[in-house]
């Protein structure tokens, strides 16, 4: 139509403007390497890892010396015999020298928008600043070797889009969108002066930001679930019981009714995906299961009958090795006391998971602390308190990837994650040492992860020249 501005014409106009202004010509290098944080190769390029021992994400033993050819964003070929690439001069060859090649790590309980800011900074800042802060943290997350995260609460849709479009380095994000909670529930960060809530009235600040949404009936729950799915949620998160960080949310409280939880499950299942719930206590876990929830987050105060029920029903447990009270350093006395109570259940939850064979995923749930985020790999290493290094690494790779598949057609990254095999997506780490013998290697990624590849692109190559 005459006079209509198209997307392409707008892009050309903006490009010319920035060129004239000098913005694109200063500090921009289209051949930038991975050291700058930008992918160094075209998406259809090939990389050959020569002489690696493979931890494939499933087996507790390393392979014999092998060679792995990555083309585009997938593993094309794995061979114990040399792979001849002389006819393809554009292949980047990485002489690994017998080091370990393994899948990228997966964190199943992450909050990309809430890692670095304090609660006050988050609630008082504009979403633009929050996204920029989260973008910096997303790059740091990737450089710790976590190539995929499942975001379980927060407005991470735009961050995910920017990463997927290659605007900045970061992990794959499986977004939940806003946490759905009730009045007074975990995730309700309003003050008492904000009460009473007017149905259909003005949204609270945390709701305006997309951090959480308050829903106090089955109909409200359906609405809020559908809003997250409309924005691109791959799964839905509700808070079925009390939590540590929220000021008006005792741990023993069960929040949503079964009818409310069932409304969320129905809405998610209509979209072919699932609901997970934040739940610590037997009552909140059992109510979630009765409503059709597929995955329980945390579960630290679970009892034995509840563990048995989870195993019988095939319910996933996504839990975290909470052991450190220092994680409560930024919290008030009441919140610190709640965290201490949760920590008392950490040994019990892993013992029950092992005893009953509950399908168990690994995550960290790090909030409001850049310093704690740097210990993401160290939290994985603490799993050796209950598991062998091989069992822990299987959990943080292929097992976590199995849980991601529950998203069905809402899966934003169709393909095989968490494994190293032909046809799998090329999220790979080259490790200086054997993590199957020493899991502490993952706690120091700067030193021990020499190559970090995501989606076939190299974001770090620190191999000695």
- CATH number (domain holding residue 449): 2.30.40.10
Averaged pLDDT, 239-250: 88
Residue 258 lies in a domain: yes
Q: Which two tokens stand for residue 354?
A: 């092992």
The predicted structure's pLDDT at residue 330: 63
Same domain, yes or no: 171 and 292: yes
Same domain, yes or no: 117 and 229: yes
The band of 328, judged by pLDDT with boundaries at 50, 70 and 90, is low
The band of 31, judged by pLDDT with boundaries at 50, 70 and 90, is very low
Averaged pLDDT, 24-31: 34
Residue 37 lies in a domain: no
Residue 405 lies in a domain: no
CA atoms within 13 A on the CB side of 208: 12
Same domain, yes or no: 305 and 163: yes
Same domain, yes or no: 322 and 457: no
d(CA 229, CA 266) in angstroms, rounded, equals: 13
Same domain, yes or no: 291 and 270: yes
d(CA 268, CA 293) in angstroms, rounded, equals: 10
The predicted structure's pLDDT at residue 424: 98
- Give the CATH number for residue 283: 3.20.20.140
Handedness of CA 398, 399, 404, 407 (dihedral sign): positive
In eight-state DSSP terms, residue 366 is: -
Same domain, yes or no: 98 and 110: no
**How many domains is the chain partitioned into structurally?**
2
Residue 333 structural domain: 105-386
Residue 417: how many other CB atoms lie within 10 Å: 24
Same domain, yes or no: 58 and 172: no
Same domain, yes or no: 95 and 126: no
d(CA 220, CA 123) in angstroms, rounded, equals: 23
74-79/457-461 β-pairing: unpaired
Candidates 232, 231, 200; CA nearest to 216 is: 200
Same domain, yes or no: 367 and 255: yes
Same domain, yes or no: 153 and 254: yes
Residue 402: how many other CB atoms lie within 10 Å: 13
Among 343, 363, 386, the domain boundary falls at 386
Same domain, yes or no: 136 and 69: no
When the pLDDT of each residue in the chain is averaged and rounded to a whole number, the result is: 88
The predicted structure's pLDDT at residue 455: 96
Residue 234 lies in a domain: yes
Averaged pLDDT, 81-106: 92
The model carries a pTM of 0.89
Dump pLDDT digits (tens) for 252-262: 999 999 999 99
Given a cut of 60, whether residue 28 has pLDDT beyond it is no
Number of residues assigned to the chain: 465
d(CA 369, CA 384) in angstroms, rounded, equals: 24
Same domain, yes or no: 278 and 339: yes
The band of 194, judged by pLDDT with boundaries at 50, 70 and 90, is confident
Candidates 462, 328, 323, 454; CA nearest to 38 is: 454
Are the C-beta atoms of residues 149 and 139 closer than 8 Å to each other? no
């Amino acid at each position: 139509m005459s006079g209509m501005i198209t997307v392409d014409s707008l892009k050309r106009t903006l490009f010319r403007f920035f060129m004239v202004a000098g913005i694109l010509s200063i500090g921009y290098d289209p051949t930038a390497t991975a050291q700058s944080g930008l992918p160094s190769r075209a998406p259809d390029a090939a990389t050959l890892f020569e002489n690696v021992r493979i931890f494939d994400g499933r087996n507790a033993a390393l392979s014999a010396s092998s060679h792995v050819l990555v083309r585009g964003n997938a593993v094309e070929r794995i061979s114990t015999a040399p792979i001849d690439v002389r006819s393809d001069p554009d292949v980047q060859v990485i002489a690994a020298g017998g080091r370990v090649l393994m899948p990228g790590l997966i964190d199943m309980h992450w909050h990309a928008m809430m890692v670095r800011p304090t609660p006050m900074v988050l609630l008082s800042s504009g979403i633009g600043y929050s996204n920029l802060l989260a973008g910096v943290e997303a790059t740091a997350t990737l450089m710790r070797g976590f190539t995929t995260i499942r975001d379980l609460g927060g407005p991470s849709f735009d961050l995910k889009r920017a990463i997927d479009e290659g605007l900045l380095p970061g992990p794959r994000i499986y977004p939940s969108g806003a946490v759905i909670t009730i009045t007074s529930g975990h995730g309700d960060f309003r003050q008492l002066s904000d009460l009473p809530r007017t149905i259909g009235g003005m949204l609270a600040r945390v709701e305006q930001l997309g951090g959480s949404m308050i829903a106090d009936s089955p109909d409200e729950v359906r609405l809020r679930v559908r809003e997250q799915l409309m924005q691109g949620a791959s799964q839905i998160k509700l808070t079925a019981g009390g939590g540590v960080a929220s000021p008006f949310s005792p741990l023993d409280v069960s929040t949503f009714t079964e009818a409310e939880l069932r409304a969320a499950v129905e809405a998610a299942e209509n979209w072919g995906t699932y609901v997970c719930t934040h739940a610590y206590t037997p009552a909140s876990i059992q109510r979630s299961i009765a409503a059709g929830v597929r995955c329980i987050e945390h579960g630290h105060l679970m009892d034995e009958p509840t563990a048995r029920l989870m195993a019988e029903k095939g319910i996933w447990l996504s839990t975290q090795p909470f052991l450190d009270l220092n994680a409560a350093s930024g919290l008030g006395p009441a919140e610190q006391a709640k965290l201490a109570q949760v920590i008392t259940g950490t040994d019990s939850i892993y013992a029950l998971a092992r005893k009953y064979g509950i399908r168990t995923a690994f995550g960290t749930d790090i909030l409001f602390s850049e310093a704690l985020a740097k210990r993401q790999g160290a939290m994985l290493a603490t799993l050796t308190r209950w598991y062998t290094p091989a069992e822990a690494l299987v959990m943080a790779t292929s097992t976590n990837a199995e849980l991601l598949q529950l998203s069905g057609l809402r899966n934003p990254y169709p393909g095989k994650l968490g494994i190293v095999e032909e046809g799998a997506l090329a999220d790979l780490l080259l490790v200086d040492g054997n993590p199957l013998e020493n899991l502490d290697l993952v706690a120091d990624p700067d030193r021990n992860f020499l190559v970090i590849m995501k989606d076939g692109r190299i974001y770090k190559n620190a191999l000695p020249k």
